[in-house]
Amino acid sequence: MGKELYEKSPLARELFKAANEILGFRITDIMFDGSEEDLRQTKVTQPAIFLHSIILAKTLDKQFQPDMVAGHSLGEFSALVAANVLSLEDGLHLVYRRALAMQKAGETSEGTMAAILGLPDGTVENICAGIDEIVIPANYNCPGQVVISGSLKGVDEACELLLAAGAKRALKLNVSGAFHSPLMEPAREELRKAINSVSFQTPIFPVYQNVSTQGETNLEKIKDNLIAQLTAPVKWTQSMQNMIASGADDFIELGPGNVLQSLINKIDPSVQTQGIS
């Protein structure tokens, strides 16, 4: 993961080495040569994806000049660095603190997530709202794809009811916690402290945030949304719709994989998408 970028770019090598020093361990060893199990640890996965995305953006330099940015969950931190709101060092510091807090919260309050395919958002919302256990829509990824999150019992009950309501699939995800649900409350408080310890700068272009779905430039709103995101749904569908309404018609996904391109194409097939990894 990110090894080709490291090998071909002197700037990338410099930034990856700096990241090892900031984190206090050689994350590059895990990214380049670690097992899939090693990479799947929340405390490794999140900083690894962040580094891959933002170092790639840095190496592109003037080839990467967006008019607006967004990131899905963790990706919002990469978007904030791209918009010069956070330095790479502060962004990595926050991502690592966030990852540790989320992993700890997942170990303390056992929960899970499941992808629900083929139902309207409203149906998923109504069924989750009628369940006694903790379970909420956590990711509005695209029309017909919502991820739910909550307690083990809550997600199991919701999956059963959603399948009965006509869902094509209810697929449990291999995650270490109930992300973007009330079970992440302890992590949210830890992230709040971390956010208040670093410097934020006014963005050079709007950042469309997961919580508000709007292009934000006000620093207090940006901070509040970033904190709220841990226990609130990722409204990706609505964020992309608002970006498109604001004139976005060509989306570039930076970092590993092409999931976001696929989601955007389902949200609005008329826009252009490409990926750089």
- Percentage of the chain beyond pLDDT 90 is 91
Residues 232 and 150: their CA atoms lie apart, in Å, by 12
Q: Which residue, among 255, 267, 277, 241, has the nearest Cα to 81 in the 3D structure?
A: 255
Q: Model confidence over 1-43: pLDDT tens digits?
A: 899 999 999 999 999 999 999 999 999 999 999 998 888 887 8
Instruction: Give me 248's structure tokens.
Output: 């976005």
Residues 65 and 82: their CA atoms lie apart, in Å, by 9
Q: Model confidence over 116-163: pLDDT tens digits?
A: 999 999 999 999 999 999 999 999 999 999 999 999 999 999 999 999
Residue written as token pair 């956010």: 195
pLDDT of residue 41: 81
Q: pLDDT: is 201 or 277 the higher one?
A: 201
pLDDT of residue 38: 87
Q: Model confidence over 215-242: pLDDT tens digits?
A: 999 999 999 999 999 999 999 999 999 9
Nearby residues of 156 by Cβ (< 8 Å), 6 or more positions away: none
Return the biggest CA–CA distance within the chain. 55
pLDDT of residue 176: 85
Buried/exposed code over 211-236 (b: 16+ C-beta within 10 A; e: otherwise): bbbbbbeeeeebbbbbbbbbbbbbbb
Q: Which residues form the catalytic set?
A: 73, 180
Residues 234 and 147: their CA atoms lie apart, in Å, by 9
Residue written as token pair 């919260």: 105
Query: What is the pLDDT of the chain when averaged over all its residues?
Result: 95
Is pLDDT of 257 > 90? no
pTM as predicted: 0.94
What structural domains and CATH numbers belong to the chain? 3-107+182-231+239-276 (3.40.366.10), 110-172 (3.30.70.250)
Is pLDDT of 264 > 90? yes
pLDDT of residue 100: 93
